[in-house]
Structure 1
Amino acid sequence: MAPVGAALWRSLRAHQVYGANTDVGKTIVSTVLCNAVQRQKQQAAFLKPVSTGPLDDADDQHLKRFGAGTLTKCLYQFDEPVSPHIAARQKTIPRDDDLLASIHKTLTGWAQSDIDFALVETAGGVHSPGPNGNSQADLYRPLRLPIVLVADARLGGISCSISAYESLLLRGYDVQSVLLFRDDYYKNHEYLREFFNNKSIPLVPLPAPPARPFPQDVDSQKRDEEAMATYYQRVSQESDILRLLEDMSKRNTDRVQRLEEMADRAQDLIWYPFTQHQGMAAKDITVIDSAHDDYFQTFRSDRTIANESELQPTFDGSASWWTQGLGHGNPELSLSAAYAAGRYGHVMFAGAVHEPALSLADKLLKTIGNPRFTKVFYTDNGSTGMEVAVKMGLRAACERYGWDASQEQISILGLKGSYHGDTIGVMDCSEPSTFNKKVEWYRGRGHWFDFPLVKMVQGKWKVEVPTSLQKELGSDVEFDSLGAVFDLDQRVNSDSGRRYRDYIYCTIEDLVKRQGMKFGALILEPVLLGAGGMLFCDPLFQRCLNEVVRDNPELFTSNSVSPKQSPSWSGLPVIFDEVFTGLYRLGRRSSASFLGVHADVAVNAKLLTGGLIPLCTTVASQEIFEAFSSPEKSDALLHGHSYTAHAVGCTVAVDSLRAMAQLDTDGSWDGYRADWGAKVQPPESGAVPNVWSVWSQGLLKDLSCAETVESVFALGTVLVIALRDVHGGGYTSTASKGLQQKLATGGDQFNVHSRVLGNVLYLMSSVTSKPQSLREMEALLRSALL
C-alpha cells in the first residue's frame, strides 16, 4: 500500500476533532460547527473513522439527525460500547495503514466535490486506543490535520485539557481552536481561555446542551430531539462560532500561502550547504511541511489537477543526510527530549556530571563492544568529534615517538576518497578534492592509499582492483555472495591478503624511510566511505592496513630512536570514523565488527540520537586518555563546546540505542536477513552475524544488469547505484541526475528526495522502515532503470 500523505487542500477546510477526555461532547461540538457552516450556504461533511456502540447512538447518526444537511460517513462501526481496541476484537481489525488510507481517500473525494468544510472525529480522548491498540494521537499523526480540541468543563478538566494539548503539541500537531461547554460553577472556560489565548489559539465556550430527559420514552425522545434542534439552531448562529469559522478558514488559507512563498523566501534568505547557487531557482528547493516515519510531506508546487492535495509523501532517500534511524516524528524520542529539556534545559558539563551523560557513556561503551575503550568525550557533530579524535591520535603518537609537532610535520594515513568533516582541521586529513581544494587554509597532510572496491556487476559480486595497482595487488576476484567477501578469517591468508600486506608495508616504508614522512594516526571509515562517493572498500584491504600499521612499529621511527612501549597499541593509533557507518547503519551496532579490528579511538554521531538532535561522541582507550595526563594544564585536551554533553541529546541517545538494540534482537529484521541468507545468532553466542540489507537481493541483481548501471551494492540500510558515465565518474559527474529526476517525479502516490555524489545515487532507509514501504521504493527504482 502506498504511503498516506498529510491532508491539506485549498478548497476543503479539513480538521480533526480530538477530545481532552471521554464524554466531553465532541459530537455536539462537531454538530454545532457543521450547522454553522451549512447555514452559511456552504457544504459540510463529517467523518467518523471508528465508532463503537449501538448504531442508533452512533455519532454519525447524530449528525444526520441534527446536522442540517451535513454529509456524514463512518468507516468502521463496532457494536460494543467500549474502547475501539476492545470492540474490534470480535471482528476483522482494520490495519492502521488501511484506516488512514480510507480517511485520506474520503477527504480527497470530498475535496474534489463541492464540500467546503470537513471534520474527522476521533473516539474518546487524545490517547484513547484505536482498533489496534495504538494511541489515536499516534495513529492519526501521518494525516496531521489541524486540530479542534474539545476541552473538559468538568472537575479536573483544566488539567486534562492542558495535558491533551501538550500531548498533541509534542507530536507536531497544530491545535487551531479549542471549544468547551460553559460551566458557571467550575468556570474552566475562564482559566483555559487565558491559557490558550496566550498561545494565540482561540477558545470558544458554548452553552451547555439541554439535559436529556429521564426516563426515556417516545414522548421524551421527541422532546429531547426538539430541544437539541433548537439548541443547534441557536448556538450555530452565535457570533463567536461564526468568528471561529472565519479564523479556521483564514488559517487554512494562510498555511497554503506560506507554503507557496517558502521557496522564494528561502532563495532570498538562505545560503545552502554543498550548493552552487548560481543557476539555482526557487523551484529547485523542496518545501517540507512536516515529516513522519520515512517520508517528508512536501508542498506540490506543480499540481496539475484541480483540488488535488497540496502535500505529497516524499521518501527521505538520504535519511536526512544519514541521520534518520528511528523515523521522523518518533513520539518516544520526542518525549525523551521534552523530559530532558524540562528536567535540565542545558547545564554546564566541565567538571560536572548529570545522569543522561553518565548513562549514555556506559551504554555506548557496552554497545560498541570494543574492550580497548574506556573513555567517552562529548562534542556536537561528526566533524568536531573527528577534530577531537585527530588531536587524541597525534598526541599519543608524538608522545610515543618523541616527536615535536611544533617543529615537524606529523601526517596521517588513510584512504583515497575519505572525508571526515568540513572543519579546517579534519579537512587536512583528506586528499585534495572538490570539497577542500579551494579552501584557502587547506594543506592536505597525509598519504591516502588507493584500494580495491566491492561491487555487484551483472549479477556477480566482485572485488575490483584499480588498474594502476593490478601489478601489486592482482586482478579482480569474483565471489559467490557478499557474505563471502566479508569472510575475512578465510581471506586473510589468501593471495590477495598477502599482496595487500606487502604493498601496504612497502608503501609506508618508502614514505617514512626514503621520503622522511612522519605519521601520527591511521584514520579509516570502516567498510564504506560516504561523502567521497559511497565507496565500498574491500574489507580485507582495511583489515590488512590495520595489521601492517599495528604489527610493524619499526616502520614509523628511525633506527636511532626506540619508541616507548605500550600495553594496548603499537605502530600508530587507529581511529575509526563511524559517524556515518556506525550504530546499525550497515546492519551492525559497529561497522568495525566487519573488519574484526578494535580501534584506539572511534567517533559516532548521526544515528546516535535516532535522527532527532545533534550529538557526537569520541571514545578512546585508557592509554590514549593517559597521553594527556600531566601536571600541566596546557597538556590537557583543551577542547569543548558550550553545549557539551547537553542533557537533551544524551537522554535521546540512550533511548535511541536501547530501541535499536531491541530491533536487533526481537526479530524485526529477520525477514531481511532471511532474504540474504544471514543467520540470526543471539548476542551472547559471540558469533559474528552474516551480512544483510533491507534492500532485496533480487533488486540488486536486476539493477546490476541494467544498461545504464555500472554497478550496485547494498549493506544494512544503504543502497548505492553507480551510473555509467562515458566521461568518467567522480563528484562532478552529472550521470545520476536523470535517475534523480525520475525519482523526484515519482509515481501516482509518492516521490523520492535523493542526493547524488557525481555518477552515484544512493538511497538509505531508517532501521524502522516497513518492508512494504521499501518494496514500493524498489518498484519505483525498477520502473526508472529497467
Structure 2
Amino acid sequence: MSLLFKNLRVHQVFGANTDVGKTLLTSALVRASAALKNEVFYLKPVSTGPMSDADDEHVKRFAGAYKDAVRTRCLFRYDDPVSPHLAAQMSADRKGEKTAIFPTDSTFVTSVANHIRQCASESRKSAHMYVETAGGVHSPTLSGTTQLDAYRPLRLPCILVGDSKLGGISSTIASFEALALRGYTVDAILLFKDSYYKNYEYLTPYFAERGIRVDSFSTPPPRHEDIDANFKVTEAFYAEMVLEDTKEGGIYDLVKHLDAYHEKRLDELASMPQRTLDTVWWPFVQHGLNNEPQNVNVIDSAWGDYFTVFNGHHTPRPTSSHSVLEPQFDGSASWWTQALGHGHPALALAAARAAGRYGHVMFPQATHAPALRLSERLVRDGPGQGWAARAFLSDDGSTGMEIALKMALRTFAASRPERPREWMKELGVLGLKGSYHGDTIGAMDACEDTGVYTCEWHHARGFWFDPPTVGIRKGRTVVALPGAMGGDEASTGSLVQTYDIQSRLDTPLAALYREHIERTLHKLSDARLATLVLEPLVMGAGGMIFVDPLFQRVLVDVARKLLEVPVIFDEVFVGLHRLGLKTTSEVLGVYPDISVHAKILTGGLVPLAATLANSKVFKAFWSREKKDALLHGHSYSAHAVGCEVANETLDILERMERAGQWDEAKAAWAANEQSGTVIWSLWAPSFVDMLSRTPGVKEAMTMGTVLAINLEDHEAGYESHSAQMVLSSLAQAVGSIESGTSAAPGGGPFSVHFRTLGNVAYFMTSLNTPDATIREVEDRIWAALNSKTLN
C-alpha cells in the first residue's frame, strides 16, 4: 500500500503521452536534487528496448558531478522496443511460457514497493526518489493492466509531464483527470516551452485555477546521430537547466516545492488525530473511552480490501526509515458496504459518468436512464424477480426501511377499511429479538426496546419472538432453542442440511416452531400487529445472530395465515451476495411482500437504497386523491450517481457469477454434500471448524463473506469488551518489513481493522477478496485467539 517516509521523499513521474520528455525532465530533477546535497534514487520499474536507450542509463550518464550521489535501478528489462505488455509476452513466448505472462500485477507492485523500502532503509540523510513510468498514463504494464491501475495500490504522489506538441493540451488535461479520478495526488505538472504550439501558456493558468503548479522549461536540442556530439549538446542542455553554481530558481524552486508538499503531507497527517478529537462527533463511539490521539484511525487512502493508515501517532513511532503509512485490512468491509473493494476504477468512472451527465435531478414524475434501468433490473432480474412490481429508490438502509414500514402499514390498513383511523394509530410490528433496522425513529420503533440503539423518543411498537439460532460448536452444526422453547440444542446435520428448508418443513422441530408461534399469536390477538419484519438469516447489529431459517420460514407462513399481514425482508445487510445469495428467498423458499436493499447495491461507494414491493402493496396507495399517495421522499431520491454506480456494481457481480468467481469456495463447502447447495463461504471450512473447537469460543458461524466468532462471556452483550480485548493484537501491524511479503498490495506489515458486537467479533470480506488475503487474515485471527488465555 501507500508508502511515506520522513527521510525519503518519493514522487512518481507519469507522462501525458509517450515521447513527451519524461526522462529528460526526471534527469534534471535528479541532478538538481543531488546538487542540493540529497541522496537520490531513480527507479525505472520497466524498461523495453536496447540498453543504449535505457532511461536508467541516461539518468546515470547525465548526473554530472553527482554520479556518486545518484543510484539508479531497473527492475524488469526487456530487449524488444515495444509496449511492456507485448515485451513481456514476447519474452514469455521465447521461453516457451505459453500459459501466462509474468510477472503478475501483485508481483510487479510488490517489487516496486520493496525497492522503495530498501532505498529508505539505506538512506542516511534527506533523500529524494523518482519513479519513472513508461509511455502515457494508460500505457499497459507487464500484465496488460494500465499503469494507473497497476500502480494505484502504492498511490505515490505524482509529477505529470505534459505534452507540448499538437494535441498536447487535450492529452495533458485528460491525463490529469485520469490520475485524479483514481485518487492520485498531482504535486506538479511539467512541460517544455514549444515556441510554436505554446501549450504551456494555456495550461499554466488552467491548472493554477485548480491549485496545481505548472513549470515549463526550454525545449531540449534535437538528438544527434553522433554519440559524442549528442552527449555534448545534451550535457549543455542540463547544465543550462540545472544551474549548479547558483542552485536557485527554475528547477531548484520545483525541487523545493516538492519537498514542501512532502513536509506538508507529513504535518497534515500528524495533526489530524487531535484535530479530529477537537471537532468530530463519531457515530457509535463513546468519546469518553476514546479521547486520546492514538485512538484515532487516520485513513490516508484505501484500495481493494485495505485502508492505508497513518501510524506516526502510535507508540512506538516509526523510525525515519520506516513508512509512517501502513496497510490495514478492512475487516468489517467498512460497516458491511464493500462488495468489490475500495477505489474500484469501474465504480469511480460510473460515478463520474453520471455526475457529469446529470449532477442531481429531481425525480417525482420524472425519469432518467440510470434510475429506470436499475428499477427494471431489480424488479425483473434481481432480488425482486418473481414477485416484485415496483422499486422505490431512496438513500440509505434506514430510510428504505421507513418507506417499507409505511408501505406495509398502509397495505394492512387498506385491507381493513372498517377500522377507524384512531385504531390504526396503535399498529405495531411482529419481529425477532435482536433485530435492528436503522437509526431513524420509525425504524427504531420497529425493534424491541433494548436500550442500546434506541433514544429518548423510542416507543417500541409490537412483539418480538426470541429466535432459535444456528452455530457451529465443537465442529457440529447445532440449533440453540430459546428458553420459551425448552432452551435445548438440536442437531440438524451439516451446515448445508440445516439450510435445506424444504427437507425440514415436515420435521418435529418445524412442528414445535409452528405450535409455539401459533400459541403466542393467539395470546396477542389484541396487539394490532400489522406487518412481519425480518432480517432474514442473519441479524447483523444485534450480534451477528444466525437465526434458524426454518423458524423464519414457519413464522412467515403462520403470520400470513393467522394475521394476514404483509411481510418485509430487511436485506440491507444480507442481500445481493453478502451471504453468498442474491436474495435470501433462495433459502427460505418464500417471497416477501416488501424488501429493502442497500450497502452492496452500490459496491459500497455511495449511499442508495431500493425498497421493492409487490402489486398488492402498490395498489394500496392507488387512488384519485393526492393524500393517498406514498408521500415520502428526499431531495436526493433516485440520485443519478448512486443509480449509475449500482448498475455498474450489478453488472460486475453478474459477470463474476457467470465466470464462476466463487466456484472454488462453493466446492470446498459442498464436499460430501449433494450438488447444487446454496450455502457456502469464502472462509475456509477447516478454519471455521478449528475456531469452533478453540477454548473460550462458544461458537463460530459463517456464510458468504461473513465470519462471526462468539466468545464465552458471562457478561455477554453489546456493552461487553471481551471480543475487543481478546483480539486486540490484530490492531498491530505484522509482517516482514525487509521482505515486504504479505497479502497486502505492495507487501509489508499490515494490521486488521475489525469491529465487535460485545462478545461477538465479526469479520467480512469483499466478494472479490483474493484467497491469499483471506488465508492470511485467518492466520492472524487464529494467532490472536491463541495468544490469549480465554476464560
TM-score when scaled to structure 2?
0.93
Q: Which residue does the alignment assign to 1:443?
A: 459
Q: Which residue does the alignment assign to 2:684?
A: 696
CA distance, structure 2, for counterparts of residue 65 and residue 58 of structure 1: 11
Matched to 2:322, the amino acid is E
Q: Does structure 1 residue 328 correspond to structure 2 residue 342?
A: yes
Distance 1:690 1:679, change over 3 A: farther
Q: Does structure 1 residue 629 correspond to structure 2 residue 604?
A: no
The aligned runs of 1:256-405 (5 Å cut-off) are 256-281=266-291, 282-300=293-311, 301-302=313-314, 303-365=317-379, 366-402=381-417, 403-405=419-421
My pick for the range that moved more, 655-664 or 523-532, is: 655-664
Matched to 1:64, the amino acid is K
Matched to 2:370, the amino acid is P
Shift of 1:200: 1.5
CA distance, structure 2, for counterparts of residue 345 and residue 669 of structure 1: 36
2:610 to 613, 617, 625: 617
Shift of 1:689: 4.0
Distance 1:479 1:747, change over 3 A: farther
CA distance, structure 1, for counterparts of residue 451 and residue 71 of structure 2: 60
Q: Map Cα deviations across residues 732-755 of structure 1 (whole Å, 9 max, x no partner).
A: 111101234211114121001111
Q: Map Cα deviations across residues 572-596 of structure 1 (whole Å, 9 max, x no partner).
A: 1000000000011001111232111
2:148 to 129, 134, 137: 137
Q: Which residue does the alignment assign to 2:713?
A: 725
Shift of 1:688: 6.1
1:502 to 507, 510, 515: 515
CA distance, structure 2, for counterparts of residue 760 and residue 633 of structure 1: 48
Matched to 1:667, the amino acid is G
2:446 to 429, 451, 467: 429
Q: Does structure 1 residue 739 correspond to structure 2 residue 749?
A: no
Shift of 1:168: 0.3
CA distance, structure 2, for counterparts of residue 132 and residue 307 of structure 1: 31
State whether residues 743 and 781 of structure 1, in contact with CA within 8 Å, keep that contact through their aligned partners in structure 2.
yes
3-state SS of 2:459 partner: coil
Q: Which residue does the alignment assign to 2:473?
A: 457
My pick for the range that moved more, 384-393 or 101-110, is: 101-110
Shift of 1:382: 0.4
Q: Which residue does the alignment assign to 1:75?
A: 75
My pick for the range that moved more, 112-121 or 404-413, is: 404-413
CA distance, structure 1, for counterparts of residue 451 and residue 456 of structure 2: 13
CA distance, structure 2, for counterparts of residue 467 and residue 508 of structure 1: 17
CA distance, structure 2, for counterparts of residue 622 and residue 223 of structure 1: 83
Q: Which residue does the alignment assign to 1:562?
A: none
My pick for the range that moved more, 459-468 or 392-401, is: 459-468
Shift of 1:632: 1.7
State whether residues 727 and 781 of structure 2, in contact with CA within 8 Å, keep that contact through their aligned partners in structure 1.
no
CA distance, structure 1, for counterparts of residue 201 and residue 603 of structure 2: 41
Q: Does structure 1 residue 595 correspond to structure 2 residue 588?
A: yes
Distance 1:478 1:680, change over 3 A: closer
Shift of 1:131: 0.4
Q: Does structure 1 residue 239 correspond to structure 2 residue 246?
A: no
Q: Does structure 1 residue 714 correspond to structure 2 residue 728?
A: no
Query: How large is the Cα RMSD of the aligned pairs?
Result: 1.5
CA distance, structure 2, for counterparts of residue 633 and residue 392 of structure 1: 16
State whether residues 522 and 574 of structure 1, in contact with CA within 8 Å, keep that contact through their aligned partners in structure 2.
yes
Q: Which residue does the alignment assign to 1:568?
A: none
Matched to 2:151, the amino acid is Y
Distance 1:672 1:405, change over 3 A: farther
CA distance, structure 1, for counterparts of residue 522 and residue 492 of structure 2: 32
3-state SS of 1:204 partner: strand
Shift of 1:304: 3.9
My pick for the range that moved more, 428-437 or 670-679, is: 670-679
CA distance, structure 2, for counterparts of residue 449 and residue 370 of structure 1: 29
State whether residues 678 and 689 of structure 1, in contact with CA within 8 Å, keep that contact through their aligned partners in structure 2.
no
How many matched pairs?
747
Matched to 1:600, the amino acid is D
Matched to 1:484, the amino acid is Q
2:21 to 22, 25, 31: 25
CA distance, structure 1, for counterparts of residue 335 and residue 672 of structure 2: 30
My pick for the range that moved more, 529-538 or 667-676, is: 667-676
Q: Does structure 1 residue 416 correspond to structure 2 residue 438?
A: no
1:549 to 559, 582, 592: 559
State whether residues 436 and 442 of structure 1, in contact with CA within 8 Å, keep that contact through their aligned partners in structure 2.
no
TM-score when scaled to structure 1?
0.93
Shift of 1:227: 1.4
Q: Which residue does the alignment assign to 2:59?
A: 63
Matched to 1:109, the amino acid is Q
Distance 1:726 1:517, change over 3 A: closer
The aligned runs of 1:208-227 (5 Å cut-off) are 208-213=219-224, 216=225, 220-227=226-233
Shift of 1:468: 3.7
Q: Does structure 1 residue 50 correspond to structure 2 residue 46?
A: yes
CA distance, structure 1, for counterparts of residue 501 and residue 476 of structure 2: 19
CA distance, structure 1, for counterparts of residue 691 and residue 134 of structure 2: 47
1:657 to 639, 650, 662: 650
Matched to 1:650, the amino acid is C
Shift of 1:400: 0.9
State whether residues 527 and 537 of structure 1, in contact with CA within 8 Å, keep that contact through their aligned partners in structure 2.
yes
State whether residues 202 and 244 of structure 1, in contact with CA within 8 Å, keep that contact through their aligned partners in structure 2.
no
3-state SS of 1:122 partner: strand
Q: Which residue does the alignment assign to 2:789?
A: none
1:185 to 185, 196, 220: 196
Q: Map Cα deviations across residues 96-147 of structure 1 (whole Å, 9 max, x no partner).
A: 1111111111111111222600011111100000000001000000000011
Q: Map Cα deviations across residues 12-58 of structure 1 (whole Å, 9 max, x no partner).
A: 11010000001111111110000001111111110011111111211
CA distance, structure 2, for counterparts of residue 502 and residue 775 of structure 1: 44
Q: Does structure 1 residue 117 correspond to structure 2 residue 104?
A: no
CA distance, structure 1, for counterparts of residue 40 and residue 544 of structure 2: 52
Q: Which residue does the alignment assign to 1:477?
A: 490
CA distance, structure 1, for counterparts of residue 456 and residue 168 of structure 2: 63
Shift of 1:680: 12
Q: Map Cα deviations across residues 621-670 of structure 1 (whole Å, 9 max, x no partner).
A: 11100101122211111000000101110000011011111111202111
CA distance, structure 2, for counterparts of residue 122 and residue 345 of structure 1: 34
Distance 1:680 1:329, change over 3 A: farther
The aligned runs of 1:83-122 (5 Å cut-off) are 83-89=83-89, 90-91=91-92, 93-114=102-123, 116-122=127-133
3-state SS of 1:730 partner: coil
Q: Map Cα deviations across residues 311-345 of structure 1 (whole Å, 9 max, x no partner).
A: 11001111111110111000000001001000000
CA distance, structure 1, for counterparts of residue 629 and residue 577 of structure 2: 33
Shift of 1:601: 0.2
State whether residues 740 and 756 of structure 1, in contact with CA within 8 Å, keep that contact through their aligned partners in structure 2.
no
Matched to 1:470, the amino acid is G
2:263 to 253, 262, 278: 253
Matched to 2:448, the amino acid is E
Q: Which residue does the alignment assign to 1:567?
A: none
State whether residues 460 and 479 of structure 1, in contact with CA within 8 Å, keep that contact through their aligned partners in structure 2.
no
Q: Map Cα deviations across residues 671-695 of structure 1 (whole Å, 9 max, x no partner).
A: 11121127999xxxxx964210010
Matched to 2:730, the amino acid is L
